[in-house]
Structures are given as C-alpha cells and as structure tokens.
C-alpha cells in the first residue's frame, strides 16, 4: 500500500525536466542529514515542508519558494526575517506537520525539509521530487545554508549570506566585549518541563549562539536538556539567566516559587526574550540568527548590570 501511495504521489508531483547536460554543474549529488540526493537541474519550483529552518535556508540563498508548510509558531504570521516568502502559497497545517499530498500538488522540482520531521516520510517525498534536508533545531545553521546553496546552484549566495550573518553576530559580540566568559543559561517551560535551551543536547541553537557571542552557555541538566522544577536551584550561580517565551507556559515558570527564589532572579540578572527572539534562537538559520543575536545581546547587557 505504501508503495502505491508513493507511486501516486510521484505521478502527480514530478513533471518533465530539461536535459541536465544543458546546465553546467548539473546533475549534482548533495549530501544532507537524511542521505544523498541527485539534483538533475537547477530547481525552479522549490517547496519547503515547513516554515522553519527549511524555509529560512531557501530564502537565505535568494530564492522564494512556490509554497511552504505554514503553521505559525510563537509569531502570528511569518517571522520577520521570512518576509521573502509572503507571495508563496501557504500549505496550512498543524505545527511541524508535513503533508505529502499538498506538497505533491505544487509540482515541485525540489523539496527542502527538516530532517527530523520527515524521518518517516523521506522516501515518499523523494518520490515526489528530489529532496534535501537541513538539521532540525541545530546550532549549525551554516551547514544547512550551504546544503541548500549547493542543491540550488547558489553556492555564492549561500557564502555571502553566511558572511553577512557572521558579521552581524560579531557586531553583537562586540557589544558584549566587557562581559567575556560570562556564564549564561537559557531556559523555558514547555510541555510541563523546564527545558535548558543552552544545553549541549543538539536540540536547539541558543547554546551555539551564546558561544558565538563570546559567552559560556551553562547546562545545569548535565546534557539532558531538561530540569525538574525543584532542580531550578542549580541555576543559582549563573551570571545571567535568559527565559525564552513559549507563551502558554511562561507565566507558570515566572510565578514558580522556586524560580523566584533564584539568586539571579532576586538580583535582577534575568531577562525575558520575546516570542520572536525565542523562535529565532530555537531554530537558528542564517536569517534568524541576525535577529536573535541583536535581542540576545541587548537582553544580556541589561541583565548583567542587574536591570533585568
């Protein structure tokens, strides 16, 4: 049955292609987190499975997708750095949901997706069109940008946007030049758990951003990325405590007696990030890192002097 479904999707997805020999540099094979994919020609109809890192990576190399999976998360519409997709078709769905049928209906010649979100459907997506993936919630935004640049024949654009983003991060780091080595923890409450966004668990980008800003990301969870509420006291000795705003459960965290008794909270060395910066730091890309770096630097500067 799965094979029949894949065959049906492939039939409605793949269209006629030009002769690859007519395009210098194509066909080419692109390695990515889900495997290796052959791209026969520079794509003209790119679809991204979600509006997360995959959409950002396509926009970063100067392409506007014809369609993208849309499920606004933490922001009411497109993230401010993703305005280049305003004219594309929105494939509405649940958060992190990937619909094979709606993607196939767009007749893409390249699909870009988050690796973790399509682990079970990658082969079906490949049946629709060549598919490349970027790592989900990874601090390694440079690799995802380069991957999409290679897949689209836009390596130069990928290199340029990476250089620009690195310049923005360097400028933000310069604002923190008098705070070298400060120990910063980034936490949130989500799904009833206290998540450590600065953990070295590879599940989010905040820790990588803190390192690029010349700071020391603190992980009191010993790599687990999660703390019980009674374990919040492990954050007592951090220099700065940033709280990501996941909206629904933020008030519960901020009103927690254990949280309110933390030394950095009592001394004003905390800051609440906006939902937009929360998303930007959680899903780092060459575009979102420019936004997140600025707000992170401003929040850390204020909190370090006790003005949080």
Rounded to a whole number, what is the distance in angstroms from the first to the last CA of the chain? Answer: 57
Two domains, one topology: 2-153 and 174-304: yes
Domain borders along the chain are 2-153, 174-304
SS3 content of the chain, % helix, strand, coil (to 5): 40, 15, 40
Question: And the tokens for 237?
Answer: 């000795």
Give the SS3 label for residue 2: helix
> Model pTM?
0.89
Options 3.40.50.1100, 3.20.20.70, 3.40.50.1980, 3.90.1150.10; CATH for 2-153 is: 3.40.50.1980
> Which residues are CB-neighbours of 40 under 8 A, at least 6 positions away?
17, 20, 26, 27, 130
φ/ψ of residue 105, rounded to 5: -65, -15
Q: How many residues does the chain have?
A: 308
In the prediction, which pLDDT does 222 show?
83
In the prediction, which pLDDT does 304 show?
96
| DSSP β-bridge partners for residue 183 | 216
pLDDT in tens, the chain (308 residues): 344 444 455 555 554 444 545 789 999 999 999 999 999 999 999 999 999 999 999 999 999 999 999 987 778 788 999 999 999 999 987 766 788 999 999 999 999 999 988 989 999 999 999 999 998 655 588 999 999 999 999 999 999 999 999 999 999 999 999 998 899 999 999 888 899 988 665 556 888 899 999 999 998 888 888 999 999 999 999 999 999 998 889 999 999 999 999 999 999 999 999 999 999 998 899 999 999 999 999 999 999 999 87
CB atoms inside a 10 Å sphere around CB 31:
11
**Domain made up of 174-304: CATH architecture:** 3-Layer(aba) Sandwich (3.40)
CA 56 from centre of chain: 8
| DSSP β-bridge partners for residue 270 | 241
Q: For residues 196 and 200, give the distance between their C-alpha atoms in angstroms, rounded to a whole number.
A: 9
In the prediction, which pLDDT does 11 show?
52
Question: And the tokens for 97?
Answer: 């949901």
């Amino acid at each position: 049955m799965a094979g029949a479904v894949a065959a049906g999707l492939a039939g409605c997805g793949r269209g006629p292609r030009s002769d690859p020999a007519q395009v210098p540099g194509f066909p080419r094979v692109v390695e990515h987190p889900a495997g290796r994919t052959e791209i026969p020609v520079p794509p003209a109809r790119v679809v991204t499975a979600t509006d997360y890192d995959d959409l950002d990576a396509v926009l970063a190399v100067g392409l506007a997708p014809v369609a993208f999976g849309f499920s606004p998360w933490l922001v009411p519409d497109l993230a401010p750095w993703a305005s280049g997709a305003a004219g594309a078709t929105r494939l509405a769905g649940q958060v992190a949901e990937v619909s094979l049928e709606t993607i196939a209906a767009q007749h893409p010649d390249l699909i870009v997706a988050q690796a973790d979100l399509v682990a079970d459907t990658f082969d079906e997506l490949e049946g629709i069109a060549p598919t490349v993936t970027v790592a989900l919630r990874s601090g390694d935004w440079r690799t995802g940008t380069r991957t999409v640049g290679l897949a689209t024949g836009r390596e130069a654009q990928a290199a340029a946007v990476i250089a620009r983003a690195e310049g923005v991060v360097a400028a933000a780091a310069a604002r923190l030049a008098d705070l070298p080595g400060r120990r910063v923890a980034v936490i949130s409450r989500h799904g009833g758990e206290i998540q450590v966004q600065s953990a070295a668990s590879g599940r989010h980008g905040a820790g990588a951003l803190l390192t690029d800003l010349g700071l020391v990301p603190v992980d009191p969870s010993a790599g687990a990325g999660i703390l019980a509420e009674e374990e919040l006291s492990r954050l007592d000795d951090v220099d700065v405590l940033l709280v990501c705003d996941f909206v629904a459960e933020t008030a519960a965290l901020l009103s927690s007696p254990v949280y309110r008794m933390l030394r950095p909270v009592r001394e004003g060395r905390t800051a609440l990030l906006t939902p937009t910066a929360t998303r930007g730091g959680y899903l780092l890309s060459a575009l979102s890192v420019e936004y997140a770096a600025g707000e992170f630097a401003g929040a850390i500067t204020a909190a370090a002097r006790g003005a949080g």
